[in-house]
Amino acid sequence: MTEPADTLLIAIAQLNPTVGDVSGNLAIARRTRQTAGEAGADLVVFPELFIAGYPAEDLVLKPAFLAACQEAVEALAAETATGPAVLIGAPWVEEGRLFNSVLLLEEGKISAVRHKVDLPNYGVFDEKRVFAAGPLPGPIPFKGVRLGVPICEDIWGPDVVECLAETGAEILIVPNGSPYRRSVHAERENIAVARVVESHLPLLYVNQVGGQDELVFDGASFVLNADRFPALQFPGFVERVRLSRWQRFEDTWRCLGGNLVEAMEGDEADYAACVVGLRDYVNKNGFPGVVLGLSGGIDSALCAAIAVDALGPERVRCLMLPYRFTSEDSLKDAAAVAEGLGVSYEVVSIAPAVEGLEAVLAPLFAGTERDVTEENLQARVRGTLLMSVSNKFGAMVVTTGNKSEMSTGYATLYGDMNGGFNPIKDLYKTEVLRLARLRNRWKPAEALGPDGIVIPEALIAKPPSAELRADQKDEDALPPYPLLDTILARLVEGESALDEIIADGFDAATVARAARLLAGAEYKRRQAAPGVKVTGRSFGRDRRYPITNRFREA
């Protein structure tokens, strides 16, 4: 019988797996285990579904993928005959059912398996679609210590932790694949504190980091002792592996503490999420770099800054694509952004292409007035040129529409909506302006771009315009952005009824118009590039409305 340990050294691996890269994720786990073993670790703890990457979505329904995950786990288990044990997540099949599982690998074998009980099925999550729910778990014995291992959502309600506490768990270890959204760190801490208070047990929370399509995982792993006080706090949005030291005091385990880093919050966290999301989308999909249209407007300027911070200036190519409505200020501002960021910058007039298309269309449009059709030709020429550069040189087109535009349809399909990824898709216009000012005074610690002002204040301050006709301003077609964005947030994130918004003092006609624009643009959003989720409800996985939909409140 194993004598109970009085001390434990647990390595917490806040790492960035890639969905589907089973061999690559296994290699990361092996390197991490080796390094942790050299530091004296007894156990290395990885995030949820680490071997597969999270979320793997319907990939886990593919038998060949499940077989590869099982082989990887078994290979890693065999290596634990010496050195530290491993607690790692993987999709796992038992008795013909597929589970989201965590496995303890020690002494050369798989010594325990626990399955996730509470499968999230809201927002960006649809785990009930692919996984079976596990039974309420008991603790896992390890070196004479009983480890309770609830998996991510299992701690968001009391039942799983209550079961673990009642069956003798001494330390709670929680592997997570918890994506970033505003204020989520505080929510996680509140949930963890509640479980600690109820169970009287210390809790180790390990979360993955990195981008996966529209989701960004911020890490921000932490340890709370049974008295609710934090013992460890990891930084957000960066990979870290740290050793946590645990000691038994009579009948209670305590983490002896270490680094406490203030969690990144607010606009800084939003910006960091945009950088990480773009970086990992480009790198994990094998693009050599990105190309984007630098218009002299705020959206493309912020996207250029995010791209440089994510990839470095040498991997970012910017094109200014002017037409006769492009102002001198825009030409000057775009050049200033390119110079400040140190990126490749070229000016290519679109006049020959636009005028050529107009000439081709002239017989078809005979007898009609110029309207938005001709304006959209400019956007579509720009989109075609950017996609052509992408096809020729392999760089991915970054599309630059903000959430205000995505909400109202103030964007051109097959034009400025062209591209492979949009780092500001979930930021309203007013938030884009705020983050631009933030970037001029701050950047994430691991950002690859220059310090200081990279977006001229004059560019930030000037009235937004698509510059598709003379003297055009966004407010010719839309309510002022501070007003519009407030209403849109109520409609999109809050799902508020129009009467509720009007009752709070908003103009009825403006609210009704915003709602009509939102409903009418669904077909455009369905064809939009993926982009980073930062708010509580992004377009895409979060908010799924039918395109054909006759319901209207106004």
Measured CA to CA, the distance from residue 90 to residue 68 in angstroms comes to 11
Is 298 assigned to a binding site? yes
DSSP per residue, 451-493: SS--S-HHHHHSPP---SSTT--GGGTS--HHHHHHHHHHHHT
Is 300 assigned to a binding site? yes
Which residue is it, tokens 């509580």?
Answer: 536
Q: Is 116 annotated as catalytic?
A: yes
Is 180 assigned to a binding site? no
Which residue is it, tokens 């009704």?
Answer: 512
Catalytic residue among 69, 106, 127, 152: 152
Measured CA to CA, the distance from residue 202 to residue 254 in angstroms comes to 7
Is 299 assigned to a binding site? yes
Q: Is 553 annotated as catalytic?
A: no
Measured CA to CA, the distance from residue 429 to residue 479 in angstroms comes to 12
Reduced 3-state DSSP string for 33-98:
HHHHHHCCCCEEECCCCCCCCCCCHHHHHCHHHHHHHHHHHHHHHHHHHCCCEEEEEEEEEECCEE
Q: Is 365 helix (H, G, I), strand (E, B) or coil?
A: coil
Is 178 assigned to a binding site? yes
Is 297 assigned to a binding site? yes
In whole angstroms, how far apart are CA 261 and each of 67, 104, 233, 234, 258?
39, 29, 5, 6, 10
Measured CA to CA, the distance from residue 308 to residue 292 in angstroms comes to 12
For 142, the enclosing helix (H) or strand (E) is strand 140-142
Measured CA to CA, the distance from residue 440 to residue 305 in angstroms comes to 10
The amino acid occupying position 330 is S
Measured CA to CA, the distance from residue 385 to residue 349 in angstroms comes to 11
Measured CA to CA, the distance from residue 444 to residue 421 in angstroms comes to 21
Is 329 assigned to a binding site? no
Is 400 assigned to a binding site? yes
The amino acid occupying position 112 is A
Is 524 assigned to a binding site? yes
Measured CA to CA, the distance from residue 514 to residue 517 in angstroms comes to 5
Is 293 assigned to a binding site? yes
The amino acid occupying position 34 is Q
Is 376 assigned to a binding site? yes
Measured CA to CA, the distance from residue 395 to residue 288 in angstroms comes to 6
Q: Is 109 annotated as catalytic?
A: no
Catalytic residue among 69, 106, 116, 255: 116
Residues annotated as catalytic (active site), given as ranges: 48, 116, 152
Write out the binding residues for deamido-NAD(+).
376, 405, 524
Write out the binding residues for L-glutamine.
122, 178
Write out the binding residues for ATP.
293-300, 400
